[in-house]
A and B are shown apart, each in its own frame.
Chain A
Amino acid sequence: AQTVTQSQPEMSVQEAETVTLSCTYDTSESDYYLFWYKQPPSRQMILVIRQEAYKQQNATENRFSVNFQKAAKSFSLKISDSQLGDAAMYFCAYRSAFMETSGSRLTFGEGTQLTVNP
C-alpha cells in the first residue's frame, strides 16, 4: 500500500517571502500522480498543482512550483511571494496511474497548516 508523509504539521512565512512544504511518499509503482491540495477555512479542497511521475520536469503554476525527486520519493511544494490568501492547510496526495487497482483514489498526507504573517 502507498503511504504519504508530511513531517511539518505547521509552517509559517512572512508575506512576500518563500516557503517550502515537504512531502515524502512510499510506493512500489512506477507510474503515478502526485498532487498538492489547499484547504482554506472554508473547507473547500482546491487543487494547487499536479505532477505526473513519468515527467522529469517539475510542475509550475504561477507562484507555486514543486521539486519532484522520484528516486528519493520526495515531492515538496514551494510557494513564492507568499500572500495572506495562501494561509491554509496543505495536503500532499498520491494517486496510482493504474485505475484497475485503485479506482483513481487518493492517498493523503497528514497536512501542513501554513500561516502567513503580514
Chain B
Amino acid sequence: NAGVTQTPKFQVLKTGQSMTLQCAQDMNHNSMYWYRQDPGMGLRLIYYSASEGTTDKGEVPNGYNVSRLNKREFSLRLESAAPSQTSVYFCASSGRGSPSAFGSGTRLTVV
C-alpha cells in the first residue's frame, strides 16, 4: 500500500538550476497539493489541484509551476532555483471526507 510517493528524497541545486519534484498517489484521490515546510512556519500551500485538469495557486506560489499530469500524478517544477526555495517539500492528496495523506517529503537545498 504505497499511498503518496514523492521523489527525490534529497536534492542539492545550484542557484539558477531547474528541477521537477514528482508525486504520485494510488488512493484514487481527486485532490492533490504541494506544501513547503520552513522552521517556525508550519507547512504552507504552494499549489493545489482540486481535481484532474485544474490547478490553483496557494499561499506561496511564486517561483513554482505545477502540472496535474493525470489523476494520479502532480509534479512541482522550479524553473530557476533560488536560495529562498531551500525547504522541505511535501506532496499530499485527499478525497471527499477523507483526511490528507502525505508523502515522505523532499529536502531541497539551493546553494
Chain A residue at smallest Cβ distance from B98: A104
Q: Indicate whether B53 reaches chain A with its CB closer than 8 angstroms.
A: no
| Partner of A104 from B41, B88, B100 at Cβ < 8 Å | B100
Give bound CA distance, A94 to B44, whole Å.
Answer: 12
Pair count A-B, CB < 8 A: 59
With known contacts A104-B100, A105-B33, A99–B50 Cβ distance under 8 A: yes
Q: Which residues of B contact A99 (CB under 8 A)?
A: 31, 50, 96
Which residues of chain A in 26-52 are interfacial with respect to chain B, using CB atoms and an 8 Å cutoff?
A: 33, 35, 42-45, 47, 50
Interface size on B, residues (CB 8 A): 25
Greatest chain A CB density within 10 A among B50, B96, B99 is at B99
Interface size on A, residues (CB 8 A): 23
Contact A103 B50 (CB under 8 A): yes
Chain A residue at smallest Cβ distance from B41: A110
Contact A91 B43 (CB under 8 A): yes
CB distance from A110 to the nearest CB of B (A): 5
Contact with A along B44-69 (1 / 0, CB 8 A): 11001110000010100000000000
Give bound CA distance, A5 to B67, whole Å.
Answer: 31
